[in-house]
Amino acid sequence: MNFSDIFKSSFLEKVSSFSILDVVIAMAVSFALGLFIYIVYKKTFRGVMYSTSFGVSLLAMTLITTLIILAVTSNVILSLGMVGALSIVRFRTAVKEPLDIAFLFWAISAGIVTGAGLIPLAVIGSIIIGIVLVIFVNKKTNDTPYIAIISCTGDAAEEKVMEILKANTKKQLVKSKTVTPNGIEITVEVKLSEGSTKVCNILAETEGVTKCALVSYNGEYMA
């Protein structure tokens, strides 16, 4: 071993094993795709409270996935170690909206494809996915179901309520019925005619009805 061998470093030799230009291009494309995913998510969000942190995490996830794939494809040994390291990662944040899962997979897929060097596939695929989501998520419909919660004093009032619902809504389906000494409370899934909520006003003015409420229904109901 001579003097020059002391300063040799296998770590520094690996620096030249990949192209810095390729990394810059891949990360730039990944950033553009992540930003596109973030914008589509913001445009198609239909929840109650928009989470900026989740949108930013989609952008970060695209970049991080691209970086991981670039590292994995450059070294087979590193790829095996990376698989072992990622296998112990656990995510405990609950995803409440089903559509959010689609955006997570989209961000991860875009990062994987970009890191693998299939940039045209990543760009074209992301554009198609974005257009489909914007069209279908923003599509307006008058068939949005509602839950009508009506409190009435007796059987006669209940019959009037059902007659009014049949005359002023497209569909009626009783979800639950509670009978107490103070009266009757029924919960009915309804589809409004032309999206009008006037049926709630009509029910509230009906004799024997003490309370009427309409709640937007997302397809899940727990009695």
Would the pLDDT of 158 be above 80? yes
The pTM for the full model equals 0.64
> What digits encode the pLDDT tens for the residues 53-64?
888 989 999 999
What local confidence, expressed as pLDDT, does residue 34 receive? 94
Lowest-confidence region among 69-73, 105-109, 163-167, 198-202? 69-73
Strand order in the sheet with 183-192: 169-180, 183-192, 145-152, 209-216
Q: Where are the alpha helices (DSSP H) in the chain?
A: 3-6, 10-13, 20-44, 52-74, 76-86, 98-115, 119-137, 155-168, 198-204
Q: How would you label 103-115 residue by residue, b for 16+ Cβ within 10 Å and e otherwise?
A: bbebbbbbbbbbb
Residue 92 has pLDDT above 70, yes or no: no
Return the domain boundaries, the chain: 16-137, 145-216
Fold of 145-216: Alpha-Beta Plaits (3.30.70)
Beta carbons within 8 Å of 223's beta carbon, 6+ residues apart = 175, 176, 187
* Summary mean pLDDT of the chain: 80
Q: Which range, 34-43, 89-98, 141-150, has the best average confidence (pLDDT)? A: 34-43
Question: How much is the pLDDT for 82?
Answer: 62
